[in-house]
Structure 1
Amino acid sequence: QRPLWRAGSLTDAATVLNILFAICLFNPALCTLKGVISTTRVCLPVKIEKFSAAPRGPGHAMQATLNAENGSLRVPSPRGANGDDDSEAESFQDGRTDEVDRETRGRAFAWCRDFLSGSWKSISEADFQIRIVSGGLSNLLYMCSLPDHVHPVADEPARVLLRIYGAILQGVESLVLESVMFAILAERALGPRLYGIFPEGRLEQYLPSKRLRTDQLAVPELSAEIATKMARFHQMVMPFNKEPKWLFGHIDKYMDQIKTLKFVREAHVKKFNKLMKYDLPAELESLRSLLAATRSPVVFCHNDVQEGNILRLDGCGEKSTDNLMLIDFEYSSYNYRGFDFGNHFCEWVYDYTYHQWPFFKADLEHYPNREQQLHFIRNYLSESGRYSNRDDHTQVEEELLLEANRFALASHFFWGLWSIIQAKISKIEFGYMVSALCSHIIQWGK
C-alpha cells in the first residue's frame, strides 16, 4: 500500500488536508477502505424483570433490574462473517477471541516496517509481536511491538497502536476528516502522536496508561477533570464545517440504511422486528421537536466521551489534576454541546469490560444524580469562564441540566440505530443487537 503520510514535523495541517484530497482524487482505489469495525455499546443478553424510568430531567435517575440469560453457545471466528450473513455472534462460550489471524498479522508487520523503518525494518515477521487490544468499539485495535532483544533506533517507538478502521466509519470523507483531526490534535499535544496513515487505518503512539473504568466516572476528582477536558475540547477551533449537521445527518443516514437491512439469524430477526415496533420515524420527529426547543450552543464536540476513550496516563501521580487524555476522535465534529453532556452521563450506565456475551452490562442506577451532574457542570463552566456573573449561576446550571438530559435521549436514539447497523456489518465481537434493544428500552421505558 502506498503511504499517505509519514511521521514528522507537521507545520501546517492544511498541507495534510491537501495531500489527502489530492491522493483520493487521483488514486480512487486508495479510497476504498477495507477495515473492520469494533464498537462499544451493549447490554447483557438480558431479560428485563423490572423496569421503571423516571423522566430524563435533572436529578432523575432510572432504575431497572437486568438478569442475564444462560445458554449453550459456540465460539465463532471473528473473520467468519461476511456481507451476506449476520456478523454478530449471539454468544461466546469462552469469551472473546485472543488470537490474531495470519492475514492481519502479515499486514500489520508490513505497515510497521514501511512506516516506522529503522529497527522495524530489520526484524523478521517471526520476531514481530502483535496482540489484540480490547475496548475498541468502532475500530479493531492491536498493539505492535519490537521483540525484547531488538532496541529502537534514536527516538523511534518500541511499540505502537495499530488502528484498523471499522466498516461504519469507512469512506473518503471520514478518512480525510479524521486523519486531519488526529494530526492537528497530536500537534497540539491533545492526543497521541501520529506515525502513519494508510487507507485501512493508521499507526499511533502508544501511551503508557490505563483506560478508565465505568465506576471511576463517578469519582469526584476524575469527574471534575473530565469536565475540564471537555470544556477545553469545546473551545477548540477546527477547520471543519461549523454547521451542526452531524447528529441528525447521521441519524437520517442510519434510518435509511436500516430500511434496507435483511437479517438471517432468527435471533436477530426477532430483535429487529421488536425494534421496528417502536415506530422509529415517529419517535425521531418527537426528538427533533424536543431538541429544537432546547437551547444548546454549537461547539466542537468529541461525541463519544465514554470511559474507554479516556486514558489515565502513567507517571502523573494519584494527586495530579492533569493526568487524563481524551482519545478516539472518529465521531468528533461540530455539534450541539448538550450531546456531549448527555452522552457522557449515559455512559455512566454502561460497563464494556464484561468478558462474556454480550460483552457489556448496564446498570441504570448508575446514571448520575442531580448533585453528580451539577458537580460536572460546575467544573465545566468554571473552565470555560461562564461564571462571570455570580447572580446567574443557578439559572445557567439549571439550563445546562435540562439541556444535558434532553440530549441524553438523542444519545440513546443515535447509538441504538448505530448498533442495529453494526449488528449487520461489524466483525467485532460484541452484542450490537442486544445493545440496540437496551438503548431503546432505556429511552422509552418499554
Structure 2
Amino acid sequence: HTPFGYTSITDRSCGDGGLGRTDGPGLFSPEDTGPPLDRKRVVNALIVNERKSRTPSPLSEANCDDDSEAESFRDGRTEDVDRDTRSRAFAWCRDFLSGSWKSIKEEDFQISIVSGGLSNLLYLCTLPEQVHAMGEEPRRVLLRIYGAILQGVDSLVLESVMFAILAERTLGPKLYGIFPEGRLEQYLPNTRMCTDQLSDPAISAEIATKLARFHEMVMPFNKEPKWLFGNIDKYMDQVLKLNFTRETHLKKYKKLMKLDLAAELEGLRVLLAATPSPVVFCHNDVQEGNILMLEDRTQTSRERLMLIDFEYSSYNYRGFDFGNHFCEWMYDYTYNQWPFYKATPENYPTREQQLHFIRNYLAEQRRHSDITIDQTQIEEDMIIEANRYALASHFLWGLWSIIQAKISKIEFGYMVRRILLQSHAFYIYFKSHKQVCESCICFVLVNLTSQ
C-alpha cells in the first residue's frame, strides 16, 4: 500500500529477498509459479538492488495490456528505468530542486528503481559524484510517482497537505516538490526493516509508541470516520464492474464473484458497529515497508523508527490500525518471483504478542494523561477491537487487490493475494469463535484456493 523513499542501498540483512530460494510452486493456482505464499501486502521497504532483469520497466508500454495483473513478470522485477520516466524525473529534479540540479545534463543524471511500493512507483535520484552542491539543495531525493489507483483522486490533495504538515513537525521526511503525477521527498539513510522484525519485542514496543503518538495528533481534516467503509463501498462498486479479458485473471475473478461479498460486507458492518473503537487520526497502513529504521541517529537516542507513507492516513477507527498492523506480521513483499510476496498465517501475533503491543501503546498514552483506568479490562477490550478490525483490513485490501490486478503496472500477484486475504480473514474469525461451519464462506474459500 503501499508504499517510501528512505532506503538502504547496501543492507540486505533480511535474507536473500527471494533470490536463490527453492520453495515449491504457488499455493493457489497452477498458473502461478513461485514459493508458497508466505507473508505481506505492500512494501515500502526501500532497498535499491543491482539485479538485472529481462522484463520491461513498470512504466513501459510492454506491460500495458487489457489486464495488468503482472503474470508477464514471472522472471523477476525489472530494474531498468525507461527513457520517458528518466526524462520526466530529470525535469522534475531540475525544476524543483534547482541549484546544482540545473547545471547537469540528462545523460549525467542518476536514477534507479527503489523496490517496494504497490500504490506508487519509487525512484532514487542522485547528483553525479563530481558535481558539488551550490547551496542547500539535496544530493539525493526520492521520486514518488503515484500509482493508477491514486492518480487524480481528491485524496492526493489531502495526503500532500498531510505530508507537508508532518514534515514541518519533523514527524516525516521533508517535501521538496509536488506535481500532479507525484512528488520529490527527502532521502533518509536507513536499514531495511524485515517482516520478521515486526515481532521483535523492542521494535514492536517502539512501533506501538509511535502509533500512540500518531493517534494523538490533531489534523485539519474531516473528523468523521468515513474512510474505512467509504473506501470499501467504493472498491466494492468498482470490483463488481470489472471486466477481465485474460483467461487466468477471468478464472480467478469468477471464483471470487461466486462469493456473496455484499452479505459478508453487511455482516462486517454489524460486527464492527458492536465493537467500541475511538475515532483517532490513523495511519491506516503500518507495515514494515512504511517504518524506517534510521541510521543517522545519535547514540544517546533510544528511538530509531519513523512512520512514513501517509497516503491512506485519515480519521478512522483506532481498531483498524491495530488489526491492520497485526495482519502485516504475516506478509512478506520482498519475494522476487511471481506472485512477488509470501504469506505465513501462523505469524499472526499471539495473544501475548498483542498484549505486549497494546501495553506499550497504553504506556505512551498514560504519559500524557492522569486518568486511572482498569488496565486489565482495557487490554481485553483492545484485543477484541484489534482482531475484529483485522477482518475489515482483509476485506478492504482484498477489494483493493482485485482492482490493482486490473489497473496496476506494478508487478504483484494481486488476484492471488485477494483470495489469500479473504481466506485468512475467516480463519481468524472462526478460530476466535471456536466453530467451523462447512457452509460458511470461509470453508468455500479454503476449498476454491486449493483447486
What TM-score do you get using the length of structure 1 for normalisation? 0.83
The answer as to whether partners of 2:326 and 2:349 remain within 8 angstroms in 1 is: yes
2:424 paired with 1:442: yes
Q: Secondary structure at the match of 1:47?
A: coil
**Corresponding residue number in structure 1 for 2:134:** 153
> Which residue of structure 2 lines up, in the alignment, with residue 405 of structure 1?
387
- Per-residue deviation, 1:211: 3.1
Q: Which residue of 1 aligns with 2:27?
A: 47
Aligned: 1:396 with 2:378: yes
Q: Give the counterpart letter for 2:421 in structure 1.
A: S
1:247 aligns with 2:245: no
Alignment of 1:290-369 (within 5 A): 290-316=271-297, 320-369=301-350
Percent identity of paired positions between Structure 1 and Structure 2: 72
Distance across 2 between alignment mates of 1:81 and 1:45: 26
2:56–2:63: 8 Å Cα contact kept in structure 1? no
Q: 1:96 is matched with which residue: 57, 74, 77?
A: 77
Q: Which moved more, 1:302-311 or 1:80-89?
A: 80-89
Matches within 5 A, 1:412-427: 412-427=394-409
Post-superposition offset of 1:85: 0.5
C-alpha contact (below 8 Å) 2:277/2:385 kept by paired residues? yes
Rounded to whole Å, the distance in 2 between the matches of 1:48 and 1:93 is: 15
In structure 2, which of residues 222, 230, 254 is the aligned counterpart of residue 273 of structure 1?
254
Please point out which of 230, 237, 241 is paired with 2:218. Answer: 237
Whole-angstrom distance in 1 between the partners of 2:63 and 2:80: 19
Task: Report matched runs for 1:109-148 at 5 Å.
Answer: 109-148=90-129
* Corresponding position: 1:80 with 2:92: no
**Shift, 1:321, TM fit:** 2.6
Output aligned runs, 1:179-194, within 5 Å.
179-194=160-175
Q: Distance in 1 between matches of 2:63 and 2:196?
A: 36
- How far the C-alpha of 1:317 sits from its partner, in A, is 6.7
Offset, 1:170: 2.0
Out of 262, 268, 277, which is 2:243 matched to?
A: 262
Unaligned runs of 5+ in 2: 5-23, 30-34, 39-53, 427-441, 447-451
Secondary structure of the corresponding residue to residue 167 of structure 1: coil
Distance 1:345 1:285 in 2: 23
Could you tell me which residue of structure 1 aligns to residue 49 of structure 2? none
Could you tell me which residue of structure 1 aligns to residue 42 of structure 2? none
Q: How far apart are 1:442 and its partner, in Å?
A: 1.1
Instruction: Supply the RMSD in Å over aligned alpha carbons.
Output: 2.3
CA contact (8 A) 1:38 1:166 kept: no
Instruction: After superposing the two structures, state which structure 1 stretch, 318-327 or 183-192, moved more.
Output: 318-327
Inter-partner Cα distance in structure 1 for 2:240 and 2:62: 21
Distance 1:317 1:271 in 2: 51
Counterpart amino acid of residue 36 in structure 2: N
Q: Could you tell me how far apart the structure 1 residues matched to 2:300 and 2:416 are? A: 39
SS at match of 2:221: coil
Instruction: String of CA shifts for 1:76-112, please: whole Å, max 9, x gaps.
Output: 6532367760111225343100000000000000000
Segments of 5+ residues of structure 1 without an aligned counterpart are 1-36, 50-65
Contact 1:244/1:336 (<8 A) preserved: yes
Report 1 or 2 for greater relative contact order, CA contacts < 8 Å, sequence distance ≥ 6.
1
Return closer, same or farther for 1:85/1:45 CA change in 2, 3 Å cut-off. Answer: farther
Amino acid at match of 2:289: G
Q: Which moved more, 1:75-84 or 1:172-181?
A: 75-84
Tell me how far 1:247 sits from its aligned partner.
0.3
CA distance in 2 between partners of 1:402 and 1:176 (Å): 34
Amino acid at match of 1:146: L
**Counterpart position of 1:16:** none
Task: Look up the match of 1:163.
Answer: 144
Aligned residues of 1:45 and 1:357 also touching (Cα < 8 A): no
Residue type at the aligned position of 2:27: K
Contact kept, 8 Å, 2:215 with 2:282, in 1: the verdict is: yes
Please report the TM-score for the alignment, with normalisation by the length of structure 2: 0.82
- Between the aligned partners of 2:281 and 2:355, the Cα distance in structure 1 is 22
Contact 1:81–1:427 (Cα < 8 Å) also in 2: no
The aligned amino acid for 1:135 is G
Q: Deviations over 1:208-251 (max 9, x none)?
A: 11231100000100000000000000000000000000000000
Distance 1:339 1:318 in 2: 34
Post-superposition Cα deviations, 1:40-83, rounded to whole Å, max 9, x if no partner, equal 9xxx973269xxxxxxxxxxxxxxxx8369xxxx9465323677
2:36 corresponds in structure 1 to 67
C-alpha displacement at 1:161, in angstroms?
A: 0.2
